[in-house]
Amino acid sequence: MSPPDVITTVAALRATVRGWRDAGLTVAVVPTMGALHDGHLQLVRVALERAARVVVTIFVNPAQFSPSEDLDRYPRDEAGDLRKLAAVGAQVCFMPDVGEMYPDGFASAVRIAGLSEGLCGASRPHHFGGVATVVAKLLNQAGADFAMFGEKDYQQLLVVRRMAADLDIPTEIVGVPTVREPDGLALSSRNAYLDEARRRVAPMLYAELGAAARDLGRGAAAGARLGQTRAALEAAGFDAVEYVELRAAETLEALDLIADRPGRLLAAVMLGGVRLIDNVPVDAAR
C-alpha cells in the first residue's frame, strides 16, 4: 500500500480533513507517540473499520513527562513508523514539531479532577494533565468522528473520555482491547528497554492479574487477595509494585468486592528501571 501523506502543520491537517468532509467521508484519528508496535496498528485497523479516512498522529508530548522521566530517550523510529502505517493503510500521518503544538506564549492546560488522581496519577502527578491537554488539541485539530485509544492505558482512556465529554468535543472516544505477546505481556514501546532476563519476568504481571481477577470475580475481598498478588509479583522478580488495585470499571472508584458493577484490576510495577503497567477486567462469576 502507498505510504501515508505526512503533514506537519495544523493548517494543512485541517485543509485535508475539510476536503474529506466535503467529499462526505468519515474520519478517525489515532493519537500516538510513535515507536509503533502492533498495539498501535490494531488501533489503526479498528479506525479503518469505523471510518473512511484515518489520521495517525505521532508526537512525543513533552508536557506529559516529568523532568526525571524518559523524554530524551523515548524510542523514535520515523522511517519504520511510516512503513508500518503504509502496510496497514492509514492515509495521513500528522507529525507536528514541538513549536507547532506549543508555540511561544502557549499558556493553557486541561486538568481532569478525580480520574487523574491515584493509580498512575499518584506517582506521575502532572502526567494526565499533559495527556489531556495534548489530546484536547489533537482532537480539535483533527475534527474527527472517532478517536481510538488502547485499553492498555485504561486510566488514560477514561481521562480522555471525560475530557471530551466535559469540553463538548464531538469526537467519539473508542477503547480498543490490549494487544499482547503470545506469553501475555501487553505490547508497549517501553518493552524495548527490557533485557532478556527481565523480558522473561515481565509476562508474570498479566498472569498474576488474571489469577487475582478470577478470585475477585468469585467474591474474594480485594484487601486480602491483592496482598497475595503483591507478594507473588515481588517473588517473581519485579523490583517494586507501585500499585495493584481493584477499581470500578466506569468511574475508577476504589472497590473491595465485586458485586453487580464491573471492575477493573490495574497495576504498575518496576522492572530493572522500566515501569510497566497493565490491567484486566473483573466481572462477577455467574
Helix, strand, or coil (residue 280): strand
**DSSP at 179:** P
- Which amino acid appears at position 127 of this protein? H
Helix, strand, or coil (residue 55): strand
Binding mask 17-46 for ligand PAF (x = CB under 6 A): --------------xxx-------------
Q: Which of 134, 255, 269, 277 binds ligand PAF (CB under 6 A)?
A: 134
Residue 272 burial (CB < 10 Å; 0-12/13-18/19+)?
middle
- CB of 163 vs ligand PAF, minimal distance in Å: 11
- CB of 135 vs ligand PAF, minimal distance in Å: 5
Of 102 and 217, CB closest to ligand PAF? 102
Helices (H), the chain: 10-22, 38-50, 78-88, 98-101, 120-123, 127-142, 154-166, 196-201, 204-217, 222-236
CA 111 to CA 159: how far, in whole Å?
9
Catalytic one of 37, 40, 126, 127: 40
Q: How many residues bind ligand PAF (CB under 6 A)?
A: 10
- CB of 216 vs ligand PAF, minimal distance in Å: 27
Give yes or no for residue 55 binding ligand PAF (CB under 6 A). no
Q: Which of 131, 148, 163, 205 binds ligand PAF (CB under 6 A)?
A: 131
Q: Cβ–Cβ contacts within 10 Å for residue 101, how many?
A: 19
37 is catalytic: no
* CA 179 to the chain's CA centroid: 12
- CB of 195 vs ligand PAF, minimal distance in Å: 23
- CB of 57 vs ligand PAF, minimal distance in Å: 7
Give the footprint of ligand PAF on residues 163-202 (CB under 6 A).
none
Do 128 and 154 form a contact (C-beta atoms < 8 A)? Answer: no
CA 35 to CA 23: how far, in whole Å?
32
Grid coordinates given for 177: 482491547
- CB of 169 vs ligand PAF, minimal distance in Å: 14
Give yes or no for residue 142 binding ligand PAF (CB under 6 A). no
Contact region with ligand PAF (CB under 6 A), list: 127-135, 192-200, 219-227, 273-281: 127-135
Residue 282 burial (CB < 10 Å; 0-12/13-18/19+)?
buried
Nearest to 162 by CA among 136, 140, 125, 196: 136
Helix, strand, or coil (residue 252): coil
Of 33 and 209, CB closest to ligand PAF? 33
Give yes or no for residue 135 binding ligand PAF (CB under 6 A). yes
Binding mask 146-165 for ligand PAF (x = CB under 6 A): -------x--x---------
Residues catalogued as catalytic: 40
What are the residues binding ligand PAF (CB under 6 A)? Answer: 31-33, 61, 64, 131, 134-135, 153, 156
